[in-house]
Homo-oligomer: A and B are copies of this chain.
Amino acid sequence: MYSTEFRIRVRYAETDQMNVVYHANYITYFEVARTEAIRELGFTYREMEAMGVEMPVTEIIVRYLRSAQYDDILTVKTQLRTLPEKHHIDFYQEIFNEKGKLITSGKVTLFFLDKATKKRSKMPDILRDKLAAYFM
């Protein structure tokens, strides 16, 4: 399993008039944390796009348990539970508040797409090699 954690502070812009983080903004927190999870492998999503591989999101499932507020520091936990063998990759993500309480949990599925042809692709070897060490 590959697992990382990343901390994000809630911005004023991300709140709504219910005085909590607007629900769609957690989806962005998830994306930021995935970017950092890849970076921790010594590779970046930016480099992957430059290599011609895009990763559009194809499915999200999110459960909202508690609310977060302006200026809270949230911890986003990002897990890969299996090494992707095909054209898609599943990230399991959870967001915790400063008291360690679970705010939101989700599963985000992305496809590997060839940027030029827009056809399904596979995980680039460079990323696969870096991840493989975590699944032995």
* Residue positions of A touching B, CB distance < 8 A: 11-13, 15-20, 22-25, 27-28, 31-32, 35, 44-46, 54, 56-65, 67, 69-71
Secondary structure dominating the interface of A: mixed
- Chain B residue numbers with a CB within 8 Å of A63 are 58-59
With A11-B31, A28-B13, A46-B70 as contacts: A59 and B54 at CB distance below 8 Å? no
Per assembly, the copies of the chain total 4
Cα–Cα distance between A65 and B59 once the two chains are bound (Å) = 9
> Contact check: which of B19, B25, B71 meets A45 at CB < 8 Å?
B71
Cα–Cα distance between A15 and B16 once the two chains are bound (Å) = 5
28 contacts between A and B (CB under 8 A): A11-B28, A12-B16, A12-B17, A12-B31, A13-B16, A13-B22, A13-B24, A15-B16, A15-B17, A16-B16, A16-B17, A17-B17, A17-B19, A17-B69, A18-B56, A20-B56, A23-B57, A23-B60, A24-B24, A24-B25, A24-B31, A35-B71, A46-B71, A58-B64, A58-B65, A59-B61, A59-B62, A61-B62
